[in-house]
Homo-oligomer: A and B are copies of this chain.
Amino acid sequence: MQASAVVRCKGEDSPNQLSAQGTLIVAKASKTKQTSSRPKRQNLVYAQSGGVTSVINASACGVVETARQHKDRIGKVLAGRNGILGVLKEELIDTSKESARDIAKLRQTPSGAFGSCRYKLKSVEENRREYERLIEVFAAHNVGYFLYNGGGDSQDTAHKVSQLGKSLGYPITCIGIPKTVDNDLPVTDTCPGFGSVAKYVAVATREAALDVASMCETSTKVFVLEVMGRHAGWIAAAGGLAGEKAGDPPHIILLPEVPFDKKRFLAKVKETVDNVGYCVVVVSEGAAYPDGTFVAEAGGKDAFGHAQLGGVAPTIANMVKDALGYKYHWAVADYLQRAARHIASNTDVEQAYAVGRAAVQFALAGKNAVMPTIVRKSDKPYRWTIGEVPLSRVANVERKMPKSYIRKDGFGITAQARRYLEPLIGGEAYPTYRGGLPDYVALKNVLLPKKLDAFEP
């Protein structure tokens, strides 16, 4: 172990009792790797990671509220400012400065209340220094619990931190909290964040389709909605929930899992307009040609040599117009879909809160390097409970959409997919409103005084 892993405290007011002990442990560890007994009461670091969702703050709410119920064991909940970057920079938000009322409001507030980041720690071999820095920060602030709220990469990081903590002799309890609109974490029935995007997309598809249907005789015949999902079609598939019986919109879903065949697609559009009078298309941003080229990329450059501005929706829409001459409209939901807390799935909100709460409970129960999961007990009525999975089983495993969820013609979802997806958008969880707008909370986000030297990740 490098000397730099020893905590260097600055300022006279530190080390306090707790951080001094942290220092001691780390210092010892450099020689003996001894895992000494931990103080009974330690602080907890929580960090949000990657793309935010409309319910990641509900998980934060679950963490903070549950931790506050265990003041004998958990001191302060400290949140990394802008995620793991804040932990590395020792920019720790002191959530004890927030009122119970504001913390409760996290449950109804989208996005990352403490900030998030797209910052993936390299492997321990490539950048051991960053992992050591995390341990230094933990030690300096008597942190015994690290809860990392994110997708696959974050679970991998949490796993590594837990291992490294052990090897550095600073035992740190690491619990992953699942979050991703991509729904691609393994083992868990679903990932908090996905259900609400799914609901948004299903609702938006149903609403826009009604609009198009009522005007198609003299106006728009083809409507294209672009949704997220670069690698998997979970979100686009959820658009399929908008229709209830054969022939209902959306008439075509373009999934990344099904190589895009322009000729077949255009034929399907024509057939639909001929039969139904209009055609609604939900397209995943990840829709791609057989060679892997994204459909959105294939449009070439504009007159100024810029890459084409539009996403896949305008590309598809223009394709339809060129080949079939139909009047079209298109929408790109982009961040609106993952931030749409106003139409969040209540199931999703409850699950997001539950995994946050469970993470704290797991930590207190002495579990380590695990992630709470959603375990489906039944489809209809949807019953679920909280399970757990070792982080080692989550890290670097991507869950794909099963082939059995995709209709034979590749343009829709099966009854099996519907059975899986429908419960996830169940229930509404409206935020409170003030002046006609959702009353989302902005926390004070007071930083804890720093104790260590600066560190630039």
Interface check A324, CB cutoff 8 A: no
Dominant SS among interface residues on chain A? mixed
Contact check, A117 vs B335: say whether CB atoms are below 8 A apart. no
Chain B residues closer than 8 Å to A322, beta-carbon distance: 306
Contact check, A117 vs B331: say whether CB atoms are below 8 A apart. no
Interface check A426, CB cutoff 8 A: yes
Contact check, B206 vs A117: say whether CB atoms are below 8 A apart. no
- From A48, A211, A435, residue with most partner B Cβ within 10 Å: A211
Bitwise, A425-446 to B at CB < 8 A (1) or not (0) is 1111010010111101000000
Interface check A59, CB cutoff 8 A: no
CB distance from A234 to the nearest CB of B (A): 16
A333: nearest chain-B partner, CB-CB:
B331
Interface check A51, CB cutoff 8 A: yes
Interface check A171, CB cutoff 8 A: no
CB distance from A54 to the nearest CB of B (A): 8
| Interface segment, one of A1-9, A68-76, A158-166, A337-345 | A337-345
Residue in B54, B117, B329 whose beta carbon sits within 8 Å of that of A219 in the complex: B117
Interface check A334, CB cutoff 8 A: yes
Chain B residues closer than 8 Å to A315, beta-carbon distance: 309
Residue in B214, B220, B338 whose beta carbon sits within 8 Å of that of A113 in the complex: B214
Give Cα A273–Cα B335 distance, bound, in whole angstroms. Answer: 19
Interface check A308, CB cutoff 8 A: yes
Give Cα A310–Cα B206 distance, bound, in whole angstroms. Answer: 24
- How many A residues, CB 8 Å from partner? 83
Interface check A52, CB cutoff 8 A: yes
| Interface segment, one of A16-24, A296-304, A406-414 | A296-304
Residue in B82, B217, B331 whose beta carbon sits within 8 Å of that of A115 in the complex: B217
Contact check, A309 vs B314: say whether CB atoms are below 8 A apart. yes
Residue in B116, B204, B430 whose beta carbon sits within 8 Å of that of A336 in the complex: B204
Chain B residues closer than 8 Å to A335, beta-carbon distance: 207-208, 211-212, 220, 223, 329, 331
Residue in B199, B341, B342, B436 whose beta carbon sits within 8 Å of that of A436 in the complex: B199
Chain B residues closer than 8 Å to A217, beta-carbon distance: 82, 85, 115, 117
Give Cα A331–Cα B202 distance, bound, in whole angstroms. Answer: 17
Contact check, A206 vs B440: say whether CB atoms are below 8 A apart. yes
Interface check A450, CB cutoff 8 A: no
| Interface segment, one of A104-112, A354-362, A367-375 | A104-112
Chain B residues closer than 8 Å to A428, beta-carbon distance: 430, 433
Contact check, B117 vs A211: say whether CB atoms are below 8 A apart. no
Give Cα A369–Cα B206 distance, bound, in whole angstroms. Answer: 36
Residue in B203, B242, B318, B329 whose beta carbon sits within 8 Å of that of A309 in the complex: B318
Give Cα A306–Cα B301 distance, bound, in whole angstroms. Answer: 11
Chain B residues closer than 8 Å to A212, beta-carbon distance: 335
Give Cα A241–Cα B116 distance, bound, in whole angstroms. Answer: 26
Contact check, B333 vs A336: say whether CB atoms are below 8 A apart. yes
Chain B residues closer than 8 Å to A218, beta-carbon distance: 82, 85, 117-119
CB distance from A174 to the nearest CB of B (A): 22
Hey, which bits of chain A sit against chain B, CB under 8 A? 48, 51-52, 54, 82, 85, 109-119, 199, 202-204, 206-208, 210-215, 217-220, 223, 225, 241-242, 299-304, 306, 308-311, 313-315, 317-318, 322, 329-336, 338-343, 345, 422-423, 425-428, 430, 433, 435-438, 440
25 residue pairs from A and B, CB less than 8 Å apart: A52-B214, A110-B207, A111-B210, A114-B214, A118-B218, A199-B437, A202-B436, A203-B342, A206-B440, A207-B336, A207-B342, A208-B335, A210-B440, A211-B335, A212-B335, A220-B335, A299-B302, A299-B309, A302-B308, A309-B314, A329-B334, A422-B435, A426-B435, A427-B436, A430-B430
- Besides A302-B303, A311-B314, 17 more A-B contacts (Cβ < 8 Å) are A48-B214, A82-B214, A85-B218, A111-B210, A111-B215, A116-B215, A118-B215, A199-B437, A207-B340, A208-B334, A300-B302, A302-B302, A306-B318, A309-B315, A314-B314, A423-B436, A427-B436
